[in-house]
Amino acid sequence: MKSSFKFFSFWLLLALGTAIVLFNSCGKEDDPANSGDSNRAIITDAGVVINGVKWATRNVDVPGTFAAKPEDFGMFYQWNSSKAWAATGDVTDLDYTYSNADTWESANDPSPIGWRVPTLEEIQTLFDSDKVSNEWTTMNDRNGRKFTDIATGNSLFLPAAGYRYDNGRLFGAGRSGCYWSNMVYNRGYNAYYLGFGSDFVMWDYANYVASSMGHSIRAVAEFELRLP
């Protein structure tokens, strides 16, 4: 009887050990840290849900990272580009190449793993006045616009980083904000965006919002389903 019990225990331990090895192997394969993508880092920030969409709490900074604080400007990006540009001062070497893509390509998305540039539809959810309120305000002495989910009280602060015109000059810092969507209005020239100032907020495209301009990015959760 003792011999049978030892035999059973041996195979039980062996089976458990095999299961643990298999579980760990699958975990490593599914872990984005092991994906081989060296340009994007894992971010544990849970984000905030506003009207059913989970938004990052901070702007995208250098590719694969978020800014340190919600009020930080992060970096500017041209539409469908993963190259970061400073959000302060003027630059002289801005790339004037226009993208001919219909949507922001995943390979060019500078958002951290698990996040992406929002769709126009996701931006539009912030404009549902029955569910979301917004106001011009300050956070730690930095101007911006706050969007608040009326039902939950969750809020999202977007700093007024301004934008970088296609000649490299910086405009509107502290007075306005421009945030890309992942969609174009007409290929190579105009992309949809979220724009705001102290007395307005809008989503639109415009002739002066050509895809070579530098705007901020506020990412949304990549695999988050829209909540009812």
Is 143 within a domain? yes
pTM tops 0.85: no
Is 184 within a domain? yes
pLDDT value for 124: 97
Is 156 within a domain? yes
Is 227 within a domain? no
Contact 99, 168 (CB under 8 A): no
Please tell me whether residues 12 and 90 are part of one structural domain: no
Is 228 within a domain? no
- Name the domain count of the chain: 2
Is 133 within a domain? yes
Q: Which long-range contacts (CB under 8 A, 24 or more apart) does 33-36 make?
A: 35/113
Please tell me whether residues 91 and 142 are part of one structural domain: yes
Please tell me whether residues 11 and 67 are part of one structural domain: no
Is 198 within a domain? yes
Please tell me whether residues 58 and 23 are part of one structural domain: no
Query: How many helices (H) does the chain have, and how many strands (E)?
Result: 2, 14
Token pair recorded at residue 91:
């630059």
**Residue (of 111, 53, 55) closest to 82 by Cα position:** 111
Please tell me whether residues 24 and 84 are part of one structural domain: no
pLDDT value for 168: 86
Please tell me whether residues 78 and 183 are part of one structural domain: yes
Contact 142, 96 (CB under 8 A): no
Sequential pLDDT tens for the chain (228 residues): 444 444 334 333 334 343 333 223 232 223 333 233 444 444 555 799 999 999 999 999 999 999 999 999 999 999 999 999 999 988 887 777 778 888 999 999 999 999 999 999 999 999 999 999 999 999 999 999 999 999 999 999 999 999 998 788 999 999 999 999 999 887 767 889 999 999 999 998 755 455 678 999 999 998 654 544
Name the residue range of residue 118's domain.
41-221
